Chains A and B, each alone.
Chain A
Amino acid sequence: GRWFGKHTCSEMVYCFLVHTVTPGPCRLLFSAFFGCQEHDDSSDDSLRAKRKNHLAEVSQQVQSEFSFRSSTTGTKYHTDGLSEEQLAAKEIGMFHLPQGCPFNDSKVVLWLTQAKCGYVFIMDPDENRMLAESILNLLVRLVDAYVKKQDEAPAQMLIKADRMAAIIHQFLPNGQVKDPKQKQFRCMILDG
């Protein structure tokens, strides 16, 4: 639809991740890093584990923020049999990660929750957050269209990770949003 066409501005994102927002352990469903990672001399596997730990920390914090927010707005996803309206209820928020906690540089976390999942951008503090918000909203709509319906379990995201990767590749290739030529995109997803 036409609502894709306008999002042609670029926004550079350090990391995009998706995690569960239901009570209990917070589970990472998808993640994509952009750009040169912070290297150290540790082995590949421990570097990967370290990265995953960082993301786990961030998603826990998002979960915590969401939990506070939902205690005041009543938004909740944790029961079954929720109505469409309840699942579709969005919460959006942001917080700051100081230097070293856990990334080398200070970052801003922009999060959006809907239908039991949290969608998170981790970006530099001076990126255009207004744009980032609208892009994140767009991504969530795309997820709903191509990856997982709102009433499906979050674990679907694990199964359809290829579609998630395709969305990211098309719409956020270097951490930047491109003009989506939707027909090409649909072709890629359906033929692949």
Chain B
Amino acid sequence: MRNTTRKPPEMPYRYPDGLIEQLCTAVFKSDQGSPLARLLCSTILRELSPRPHVTAPPFVSPVDPKQLSFILPLLTTQGIKFGNIESHIPQIITWITQVASEADLSLCSLSWLAQVYTQTPELLSPDQYRAVSQQMAEWLRTANTNSAHNPFAGRALFSGSKQVLPVKEVDGTVARDFFTVLTVGQFFSNDQLLNIQSFSMLRQWLRHGSQLQPQRSSFSRQASHSHSPSPSVDLKHSGEVDLGGGSGDGERLSPAVLSVLISRKSYQLKDKAIEYCVRIIDQCERKAAKSFDDELLQASLYEAVLTLDQLCSLDRSLVPRHFPTVKKLFSRMSGDYGSYLARILIAVLQFVLNHGEDVVYDAQPVCTALFSTVVSARYADPSVSFDIMRFCLANASKLRCSTRAFSRFFPNLFKIFAWAPRTYLMDFAELLPYLINADTALEVLHSLCDLPCLSAALEAHNRVNVVDKRVADFGQQSGIGVQSVAAIQQQQNKPLFWFIMRTEGGHGDTIDRLGLLHSLLEDLSSHPRVQYCADATPVLVKLFFKTVLAQGDYSVITRVLPLTMERLGLLYGIPLFQRQLRRIIADELLLMFKTFPSLIVDHASDITEFTASLRNMSDGKEHYFVHLIWIVGEYTASQYDSRCTTELLVKYHESLECVAYELSQMLQLAGASKQQGANATRLMSVLMTALAKVASRCQDLIPRVLLCLTKIVKQHEESQVDRASRQVMLARASELVNILKMPSLAATILSAMSEDFDTARNQSLEKDREMAVVLQATCSLLQQ
């Protein structure tokens, strides 16, 4: 699936002497030359960053905002080490906090500072942080509510007619409350731009917001917050600031910062932020007059909910007062969830999950809205499905423990995977363990085995009830899947399709006519989506078994075993998929019994019934069958489960003996292919060993087994099976006969022979040195 790419060669560029210096001069010192040229110099230097000897000199006023805009990005790409960022911060903060600063300088500085702070918060001292926060709070709350004049208009022809227009809400009505990002104006004044910028960076700025203190006066005694890792500045008295005192932080307080802390009315960023978010949520009740505004509206609403969530996480006392806002938003949203609203709902649910417990709010309705309504409608939408997956993974534990979202709606979630298996395989691998519990395990396994079928069903469904138009059209053109589309529209098939595309689990693990559904959807098996799904599914199935065995719940495993027998023959018709899944199930079978040997007792009837019919060995099920036979031989011992009585052993023996004779007859028939012959002889060897093992534990059976083995040997001395396999089989038979002639030792020898199936597969005894030694000793004893 991946395209190869040539790796860029190691680039030992040799730059002409003085080139770097000249570029630096152009960027840092010069104010000549076209802006584009200077921009290019800056861009080139950024490409080469981080690089020593590329440092900006300290800024000397007056500074051209344009030049600053070339320099600042370069500082950040240079990094902390070479960019000398720390030394420039005080000046930057001055430009932000000083009233007299040019607005462009403030804007440039603010956005740069936001980025720097997000990546390396420790660069700012608590006081610097607070000063900027206060400034931001002021912008959030007090931006101009009049529309700015057209900055591109020339001098007004009639100077008397300067009309001051108020700003408006998105629906065209005059704005009556403070300015926000959603307030519409023709052009924006500088403080309005700063308002917008402040809101945009708010969430990231508040992330490390433990430094925000509720301030009782202009500034207060710094009580170190319980989470704050940074040392506190010591403010000695409530009316003064310790300027000297050798405190390292005190040295960083530039006059501008001080003036902010001392003289201005102290705005609490936290409070203003909340007011702002609540106002945005309010403003979004209005319908946007112009459609492109709708995009901004939705994105701002999303941001506002996330910011509110952040604020409440920082200060839990805010929750009771502001939870109703979010609750009201949710009830406003109910019903049809378009692409935007769906994603906002995710933010709402995040808020509810984080804070709902504080107000004893039941998250179930919101969960249902998301996991049922939204997922059913939007599983094919790349943005919505991605957000849902991120949400599920971020909140997996909480969703699993405090809600029933996963246990109820996992079938719905599988649609996301079935539609875009390439994108979400890793995510689902991470999510799957959370979906599995004692109640859901069986249904989950059934669903996993049917994922390619689900993929096909969704594809057919899309052609009829268009979820994604381009996919539907393209599918129609391709001509693949015509029968499936016809089938899904037929009345008598509705229950089948309803089942595979169900929203909720818990209404039955599977259906009787699953095979029919598979055949109805067969013509979509070559569709790329279905193919990809089929390739990816075995990974998840393997993970299922790993999870279930790790969870160690016997009540689950004991129900999984018969399921594996059932599904072995019931898989969607993609040959490679069937082979892979059968192989996985066969291998996992060994692990299941290794972990829970008692299965051999509890499922005796299932196993004997399964192994009784050699039909269960055909069509790719050989591995499973052989493993099961081996398991019978291995685990029917009282050391594994005390309930392995003589009766049980006799029952298994009878079953094995029947199969052995039947197989022997089958082997005698001509026409078996080499591969079939090899499989059959392998099975025979395993069968004979299993018989011997069972007999060794119940010595009354030994004569019968000896008889059986001898008969088989006789039947195959001249059979049609190829020579090599035959010889191996016969060799094994005679070994077993010899071992069984020593009844008291037989059990020990046979159990030592096969610690695991891989050793047993090894038919050459020479490899088992221990065994050779024992046998030699025994033989020498017997000969004496």
Q: Which positions in A face B, CB cutoff 8 Å?
A: 2-3, 6-12, 23-27, 32-37, 39, 44-49, 52-53, 56, 59-61, 63-65, 67-68, 71-75, 92-96, 98, 108, 125-126, 128-131, 133-134, 162, 165-166, 169, 173-176, 178-179, 181, 183, 188-189, 191-192
Contact = CB atoms under 8 A, between A and B. Distances in A.
Given A12-B118, A192-B39, 18 more contacts: A24-B3, A25-B6, A32-B43, A32-B46, A39-B81, A45-B11, A64-B3, A64-B422, A65-B422, A68-B532, A93-B423, A128-B299, A129-B383, A130-B295, A130-B299, A174-B72, A174-B73, A188-B39
A90 B306 CA distance: 29
13 contacts: A8-B196, A10-B111, A10-B200, A34-B73, A36-B76, A64-B1, A68-B1, A73-B470, A92-B382, A133-B383, A176-B201, A179-B196, A192-B34
A26 B76 contact: no
Nearest to B306: A128
B474 interface: yes
Given A36-B76, A125-B390, A67 B423 contact: no
Interface of B: 1-8, 10-13, 34-37, 39-40, 42-43, 46-51, 69-70, 72-73, 76-77, 79-81, 83, 107-108, 111-112, 114-116, 118-120, 151-152, 181, 188, 193, 196-197, 199-201, 203-204, 292-293, 295-296, 298-300, 302-303, 306, 340, 343, 382-383, 386-387, 389-390, 420, 422-423, 426-427, 468, 470-471, 473-475, 477, 528-529, 532
A35 B115 contact: yes
Given A65-B422, A93-B382, A178-B107, A37 B79 contact: yes
A72 B36 contact: no
A108 to B, nearest CB: 8
Contacts of B69: 169, 173
Contacts of A95: 386, 423
B40 A48 contact: no
Contacts of A35: 76-77, 115-116, 119
Contacts of A8: 181, 188, 193, 196
A128 B296 contact: no
Nearest to A13: B115
Contacts of B193: 8, 179
A103 B229 CA distance: 26
B120 A36 contact: yes
A59 B519 CA distance: 39
A72 B526 CA distance: 12
Contacts of A60: 2-3, 5
Contacts of A25: 3-6
Contact of B528 (A71, A181, A183): A71
A96 B115 contact: no
A45 B15 CA distance: 12
A9 B43 CA distance: 24
Given A8-B196, A37-B49, A130-B298, A162 B36 contact: yes
A92 B70 CA distance: 31
Contacts of B116: 35-36
Contacts of B37: 192
Contacts of A191: 34-36
A133 to B, nearest CB: 7
